Amino acid sequence: MLDSWTSPSSWHLGQFCGYQPIQAETALMYDAVHLFAKALHDLDTSQQIDIHPLSCDAADTWPHGYSLINYMKIGNSNVIN
């Protein structure tokens, strides 16, 4: 999403052609949610994911957490440029 905004060919007399301006926070949130969703999808297609309840107060962690983070790191170069 941000790639098309940084291209000089997208600008005409200081305005975006065909796009409404949005806040940077909105664009970053969009990219973050997209990155998380894609990483979760990629993780789900690569291995069996077990889902069970977790508590913020407990010491238990999600066994797939590190794998999810790694998928997010891989996908990071494709989403946020």
pLDDT digits (tens, 9 = 90+) for 8-53: 555 555 555 667 788 999 999 999 999 999 999 999 999 998 888 8
Indicate the pairing of strand 15-16 with strand 11-12: antiparallel
Total number of domains constituting the chain: 1
Q: Which token pair is 3?
A: 């790639």
**19 lies in a domain?**
no
**68 lies in a domain?**
yes
pLDDT, residue 81, reads 46
**45 lies in a domain?**
yes
**30 lies in a domain?**
yes
**7 lies in a domain?**
no
- Look at the pTM and tell me if it is higher than 0.75: no
Distance between start and end Cα atoms, the chain:
9
**31 lies in a domain?**
yes
How many Cβ atoms from other residues are within 10 Å of residue 71's Cβ? 21
Determine the structural domain holding residue 69 and report its residue range: 24-49+61-76
**15 lies in a domain?**
no
